[in-house]
């Protein structure tokens, strides 16, 4: 389920990127931006590349009023193409199960900031972590973007509203698989969710795109907006519900 297509267009990274700062959150070096006083948080789980690639997106989400955290689930060891280690070997050392366990104390640290509702978005490799987090005890909403390793059985275990944003050209999560995800989500009447397949784009298009390509930028920004709208809708619903509960008690 992984291969060259998963790692096409690796990002050019700049360690000074972003308007936030790095702090230890739940035991992981984490890029954070936004005010925890917003009561709403978004956790971004990167692909196999360095989470630096998500800082610009994190800043955009923070500007919309969310507290945003981008933990380094790769522990300073992102995948580097053509560096003498195959992607398969890298994945053996960076299992999504471990990242899921690492995410638990991060979630608790975010909640300790008096955050009422948390959403998680996972990109490629990170989507597997996000789908594992899509339980009521951890988060309140999820977005999976061009997911890798995510199965139909994973979708069946989802307990929170989940959006899946996929690509027309994706050998890892092809449209046929995404349609199966959609069937499962549709059948789960107790959980809100949808699947959207973006035409004329490839795996990784939301974070690994040529900023000089206006068409690529437009497609990526549309996905970012869809994600932002999903979190705004679902997390605000949780926040309003929590406020009503306090008034009734």
* pLDDT tens, N- to C-terminus, the chain (249 residues): 445 455 554 444 344 456 899 999 999 999 999 998 889 999 999 999 876 668 999 999 999 999 999 999 999 999 988 888 898 999 999 999 999 999 999 999 999 998 999 999 999 999 999 999 999 999 999 999 999 999 999 999 999 999 999 999 999 999 999 999 999 999 999 999 999 999 999 999 999 888 889 999 999 999 999 999 999 999 999 988 765 444 333
The pTM is what? 0.90
Q: Which of 135, 140, 124, 117 is nearest to 8 (CA)?
A: 124
Classify 115 as helix, strand or coil.
coil
Q: Which of 163, 120, 165 is nearest to 139 (CA)?
A: 120
d(CA 73, CA 34): 20
Q: Report residue 159: phi and psi, to 5°.
A: -120, -5
- In this structure, the number of other CB atoms found within 10 A of the CB of residue 111 comes to 14
Query: Within 13 Å and on the Cβ side, how many CA atoms surround 28?
Result: 29
| The token pair that represents 174 in the structure block | 């092809």
Query: What's the pLDDT at 249?
Result: 35
Question: Contact 147/122 with Cβ under 8 angstroms?
Answer: yes
Question: Contact 171/204 with Cβ under 8 angstroms?
Answer: no
Q: Is the dihedral of CA 55, 61, 63, 69 positive or negative?
A: negative
Work out the angle at residue 64's Cα, subtended by the Cα atoms of residues 146 and 70, and round it to the nearest 5 degrees.
Answer: 50
Query: What's the pLDDT at 17?
Result: 55
- Ordered alpha helix ranges (H), the chain: 55-63, 87-93, 96-111, 125-133, 152-156, 175-187, 214-248
């Amino acid at each position: 389920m992984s291969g060259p297509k998963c790692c096409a267009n690796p990002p050019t990274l700049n360690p000074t990127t972003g308007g936030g700062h790095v702090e230890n959150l739940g035991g992981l070096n984490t890029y954070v931006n936004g005010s925890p006083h917003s009561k709403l948080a978004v956790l971004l789980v990167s692909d196999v590349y360095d989470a630096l690639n998500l800082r610009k997106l994190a800043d955009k989400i923070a500007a919309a009023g969310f507290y945003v955290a981008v933990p380094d689930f790769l522990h300073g060891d992102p995948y580097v193409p053509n560096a003498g280690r195959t992607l398969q070997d890298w994945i053996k050392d960076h299992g999504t199960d471990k990242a899921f366990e690492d995410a638990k104390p991060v979630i608790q640290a975010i909640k300790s900031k008096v955050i009422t509702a948390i959403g998680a978005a996972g990109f490629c490799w990170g989507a597997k972590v996000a789908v594992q987090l899509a339980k009521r005890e951890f988060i309140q909403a999820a977005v999976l973007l061009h997911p890798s390793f995510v199965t139909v059985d994973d979708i069946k275990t989802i307990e929170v509203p989940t959006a899946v944003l996929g690509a027309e050209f994706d050998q890892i999560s092809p449209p046929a698989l995404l349609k199966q995800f959609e069937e499962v989500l549709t059948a789960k009447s107790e959980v809100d969710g949808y699947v959207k397949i973006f035409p004329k784009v490839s795996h990784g298009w939301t974070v690994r795109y040529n900023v000089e390509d206006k068409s690529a930028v437009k497609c990526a920004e549309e996905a970012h907006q869809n994600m932002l709208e999903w979190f705004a809708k679902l997390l605000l619903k949780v926040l309003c519900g929590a406020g009503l509960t306090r008034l009734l008690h």
